Chains A and B, each alone.
Chain A
Amino acid sequence: MAAVAAPPEVVLTELKEVALGDSKTTDLPDLTCNFRVEYPTEEQAKIVMTTLSVDAELQPDKVARSMTVEGQHLLISFKATEARYLRASVSAFMDMLMLATRTIEEFGQLTLIYSAVGLHYHRCLESLVQGCREMERFDFREMVQDTEEIAPF
């Protein structure tokens, strides 16, 4: 959990940790994807957490998701048994995270004050989404090959 907090005015989000299990073992590895999003206020981070907590993961036996708020930061953690489940869950989650954040930007009380900061959100969230997709694309290919070798479906 030792991440270097970047200055908010430069980077609001960061890909904190991407740990990949050892796909060479016959046991299904636990893959994790953890990241944090910084909001202008703690209240906004909590609104997003409350909003996104309502919908459970579609396959709770394959993907686990947890969220906490630390100050202005929303900390999100994914754990999955296979890369393809991680990819699908993180990707779907990102869309909803973006939507909830945009809704706060457009209709929150702090819209005017933080409109400049809002622009940063978009850039950072988008780069985060892009980063996740690239990471997953790579892992996905590897995983599929490895899985087929060791344990054919």
Chain B
Amino acid sequence: MLALGFEGSANKIGIGIVKLDGSILANPRHTYITPPGHGFLPRETALHHQEHVLPLVHAALKEANITPDQIDCLCYTKGPGMGGPLQVSAIVVRVLSQLWKKPIVAVNHCVAHIEMGRVVCGAEDPVVLYVSGGNTQVIAYSEGRYRIFGETIDIAVGNCLDRFARVLKISNDPSPGYNIEQLAKQGKEYIELPYVVKGMDVSFSGIESFIEEVANRKLAANECTPADLCFSLQETVFAMLVEITERAMAHCNKKDVLIVGGVGCNIRLQQMMQIMCEERGGRLYATDDRYCVDNGAMIAYTGLLAFAHGHTTPMEETTTTQRFRTDDVLAVWRGTERAASAVEDDAATVGNGISLRCSDIGVDRVHASDISVGSS
């Protein structure tokens, strides 16, 4: 089975063609890069996507060496993301669906990151740290859904890094985060910054305001270098992420960690997470920018998983939505895994914090088993 996937929720437009086993036949992508000191705005980003989406479809079909009639389903990002850019993928998918007579599958962007990470790394049931410019979540699979155990209460960690890159007028090419990472390697002095972990959640906006003020003051007085600031910011925010990830691991009794999302290709974050995982006797699974950063293949693969379990999205429901929670999606393709370990899991979670969450979702559990019975 083959799927064609469209991703355009942020500043990248990507088209991917994948098989059900996770092999990627094509995954071209184009990024809207703004000048230093500027972020990407919805309207300009949507225009960028409108310009590049169709040439990318041609490029993907050519690279995969397939014709449209070999495709089984068309997948697109329903959300979360910016409204205008999201709509571009949806429009093209709707037209192609009618031209080629193919079904559509709407995909949650966050779930797509998780599934792509799992299939590329071979991580079976990890705690997932999803860190990007728009999202920061610690996620674990439980009872048919990807549950959010901790998340940012304001801006995403990638947004914090991006904004700081704008303060320093660091280049956005290939990405602000990458350039901060390179600059941080030359940092020598650690400047103390607020460390904001609130239970299972984190907050970055205060840190960003703080370091912006420090940067303006200390750089003018020549008391530190931009490299020191980048180094200090990375160390602080990554330590916070490692802390909440470790707590989620203890909470869910899972040993492995998978890092996904654009910030996930930061080598320093991977190093810090690696140390924590080793101490707990677990493994770290991480990928490079081809799969970490938004791409079409992750949407195609996740949509194909749902399609293989009998899910399609009717035309009138192929809308987009700026807010779309990771735990709104019933991960039907993981239903069979659940059936095998459900009894054990249920027994294991009684008596700790998760049991409350399980009882909250009793309805979903019935729902999940209904679907797995229906599709088997």
Contacts and interface: CB of A to CB of B under 8 A. Distances in A.
Interface of A: 47-48, 50-52, 54-55, 92, 95-96, 98-100, 102-104, 106-109
Given A107-B57, A107-B68, A54 B94 contact: yes
A54 B99 contact: no
A48 B98 CA distance: 10
Contact of B98 (A51, A92, A98): A51
B54 A55 contact: no
B59 interface: no
Interface in B16-72: 46-47, 50, 53-54, 57-58, 68
B87 interface: yes
Contacts of A48: 95
Contacts of A95: 46-47, 50
Contacts of B96: 103, 107
16 contacts: A47-B99, A50-B98, A54-B94, A54-B315, A92-B84, A95-B50, A96-B87, A99-B88, A100-B94, A103-B91, A106-B58, A107-B68, A107-B95, A107-B99, A108-B99, A109-B99
A55 B319 CA distance: 6
Given A54-B318, A103-B91, A47 B98 contact: yes
Interface of B: 46-47, 50, 53-54, 57-58, 68, 84, 87-88, 90-92, 94-96, 98-100, 315-316, 318-320
A107 B55 CA distance: 11
B99 A104 contact: yes
A103 B95 contact: yes
A50 B50 contact: no
B99 A51 contact: no
B319 A54 contact: yes
Q: Is the interface of B mostly helix, strand, loop or mixed?
A: helix
B91 A51 contact: yes
A136 B54 CA distance: 29
A109 B318 CA distance: 23
A50 B318 CA distance: 11
- A-B pairs, top 7 by smallest CB distance, nearest first, are A103-B95, A51-B94, A47-B98, A100-B95, A103-B92, A99-B91, A51-B95
A69 to B, nearest CB: 13
Contacts of B318: 54
Contacts of B90: 54-55
B319 A47 contact: no
Contacts of A100: 91-92, 94-95
Contacts of A96: 87, 91
Contacts of B319: 54-55
A104 B84 CA distance: 20
Contacts of A107: 54, 57, 68, 95-96, 99-100
Nearest to A46: B98
B50 A54 contact: no
A99 to B, nearest CB: 5
Contacts of A103: 54, 91-92, 95-96, 99
A47 B95 contact: yes
B83 to A, nearest CB: 8
Nearest to A103: B95
Contact of A54 (B53, B84, B316): B316
A143 B182 CA distance: 52
Contacts of B92: 99-100, 103
A54 B91 CA distance: 9
Contacts of B50: 95, 98-99
A96 B99 CA distance: 17
